[in-house]
Amino acid sequence: MNDIRWPTFITITVALCAALFLAIFLSGGPAPTTAAVGIDANRASFGICFGPDRYSCVVDGDTIWYEGRKIRIADINSPEISKPGCASEERLGQKAKMRLQTLLNQGSFSLQSIDRDQDQYGRDLRIITRDGESLGDILVAEGLAERWQGYRRDWC
């Protein structure tokens, strides 16, 4: 290092950094991460849940099984179909279930965690999104669910 003086050293260092920056810039930059570009990494063929063996299926408008895990959609509440308060609640609940199945089967999706991992029944709490949009929000917009308010309401 005795042969190289500080001004020369600084000039070479700046030139190398500039060359590295230019190479990264011209190559399109560093590879994006999945989170950075919002890539939906989950995909399955969802049926309707029936019987004891459940892997990837829809239980109702706000509960699914995905790869053997029971998931409660955390941002919505949909009408009950297992113990409905009235016939109209059950009909609306069936519509919500079928629409959720359609939405899930339309392509890949993401599962987003919330402030707690599971509910009191041991279901994973997740928000399901596609291209950054909540599938729950779609059900709410279509009148098949409501935003989760911390409790279930009577749909009758």
Domain regions of the chain by residue span = 6-31, 37-147
pLDDT confidence of residue 36: 39
pLDDT confidence of residue 39: 82
Other CB atoms within 10 Å distance of the CB of residue 32: 11
Phi-psi category of residue 68: left, alpha or beta, with phi > 0 → left and psi -120 to 50 → alpha: left
Q: What percentage of the chain reaches a pLDDT higher than 90?
A: 66
Report the distance separating Cα 52 and Cα 9, nearest Å. Answer: 71
pLDDT confidence of residue 59: 97
pTM score, whole prediction: 0.74
SS3 state of residue 39:
coil
pLDDT tens profile 71-90: 999 999 999 999 999 999 99
Check if CATH label 2.40.50.90 holds for domain 37-147.
yes
pLDDT tens profile 6-43: 666 666 666 665 555 555 555 554 444 344 345 888 99
